[in-house]
Amino acid sequence: MPRHHIDPRFSLILLIGLLLTPAFAVPSVDVSVQSIGSCTAERYYIDVNVTNLEGFDLVNYTFNITIPAEEIPAYSKLTRGNVYVVDGNGNPLYYWVMRRTSRVFTVFFKVPRIPANGWVLVRIYYGSDNPYRRYRKPAKLFVYWEPFNGLKDYPHVDTGIFDVSQSFGNGELDVSRGKLVTNSTISAFIFSTSKEAELTRLTVDDSYRIVFKFRRKSDAQGLESYPFYMFIHTKVGGWDRYDYIGIKENSDSKFHFEFGNDWSGGSETSTRAGKQYYLGEIAVSPEGSTGRIEKFSSGEFIGAYTFENRGRFGNREVSIGFGQANAGWWGTVNLLAYVDWVYVVRYADYNVEILRMGAECSFN
């Protein structure tokens, strides 16, 4: 397959100098885009500079950029299938379109090397045939990638978050249409009771982000409960050490986001959660961990909530998994949630700057 070198001679430049941070949320921008006029576009592109803000080389790191749909020329021509990414010499890069909604576009890509405090040029193509479909491989981008294409064996792990931890029973975990379905019945009397399972393990020898897309489907149960949560867990001196982030139904049947940890002996609860879909993130390093939830409805970003704690995991191996729980008294809950995917990515500090957007085209 021939490489597509970046050649600006036949390109119409549409946009220069838009700076975006590497985050899931849609940045606030005010940019006017020039008309393409008589240009007959063959394909469209977005040129970005990725700048390494660390004092060391970034080798085989994964980066992402989120752009508001209204700022992308001919956005209707951008589909998940026709996006591909190349470096400054036209060499294909591994990539993944995390989302393409009517409001935002987010793409991930892996760069072989960025020198300390240096930068590289990356071009994102769309709107034409895709010669590099075989590079659309999320598994190449992440330390761990689970798209839930099929049901696997998820071993039980007791995190110590709740008084009693059980395994999910037969039929309580399933995969349907590329989503993990967690559908459990949990009875609790005196002690809070959970059902927990492990996805994978990770040695915390660097900074990582554990990111997951999920949705609550069960209605209010009338008991304090957790329709879904993600956790990291390890043992330190025989004691449980954990962090988790999820949705909690309080005793008044209101749903809130919660991030809890064993270090403070408590949890932090935020603004109300609904039935929209969410992107959850647990950031963990040897020094500590934080949590973040982003809330969306019909592809529209509604808000983000961040939690922090002082938990330290050192260079220990942690379990990454999920659970549901009944924290009420003398009652039974039926909890249902869907999980689209989970990934773990090695994190570094960087900036992404859009240099230009344009079209490679001929003129009438």
Please tell me the predicted confidence (pLDDT) of residue 185.
95
The HSE-up count of residue 48 (CA atoms within 13 Å, CB side) is 26
Instruction: List CB contacts of 146: < 8 A, sequence separation 6 or more.
Output: 199, 200, 341, 342, 343
- Run of H or E including 213: strand 208-216
Length, in residues, of the chain: 364
Q: Do the strands 58-68 and 104-114 form a parallel or antiparallel pair, or are they unpaired?
A: antiparallel
What DSSP letter does each residue of 297-346 carry, written as one string?
Answer: ETTEEEEEEEEE-----TT-EEEEEEEEEE-SSSEEEEEEEEEEEEEEEE
CB 69 within 8 A of CB 103: yes
- Whole-angstrom Cα distance, residue 336 to residue 324? 9
**pLDDT tens per residue across span 47-59:** 999 999 999 999 9
Q: Average of pLDDT values for 297-320?
A: 75
Radius of gyration of the chain (CA): 22
CB 325 within 8 A of CB 186: yes
Percent of all residues in the chain with a pLDDT value above 90, rounded to a whole number: 59
Query: Which residue bears the tokens 């941070």?
Result: 21
- 21-25, 150-154, 222-226, 253-257, range with greatest mean pLDDT: 150-154
- More confidently predicted of 235 and 265: 235
**pLDDT tens per residue across span 25-68:** 433 333 333 444 555 668 999 999 999 999 999 999 999 999 99
356: tokens are 């230009």
* From 27-41, 115-129, 180-194, 219-233, the region with the lowest mean pLDDT: 27-41
Nearest alpha-carbon partner for 106 in 62, 41, 43: 62
Give the long-range contacts of residues 2-5, CB within 8 A, separation 24 or more: 2/131, 3/86, 3/89, 3/90, 3/91, 3/92, 4/86, 4/90, 4/125, 4/131, 5/89, 5/90
Q: What is the pTM of this model?
A: 0.85
Mean pLDDT over all residues of the chain?
84
Q: Domains, the chain, ranges and CATH?
A: 8-143+348-363 (2.60.40.1180), 146-346 (2.60.120)
- Whole-angstrom Cα distance, residue 337 to residue 339? 7
State phi, psi for 106 to the nearest 5 degrees. -130, 130
Please tell me the predicted confidence (pLDDT) of residue 5.
41
Sheet holding 317-326, edge to edge: 164-166, 193-203, 317-326, 225-236, 239-249, 255-261, 266-272
- Whole-angstrom Cα distance, residue 212 to residue 340? 7
Instruction: List CB contacts of 252: < 8 A, sequence separation 6 or more.
Output: none
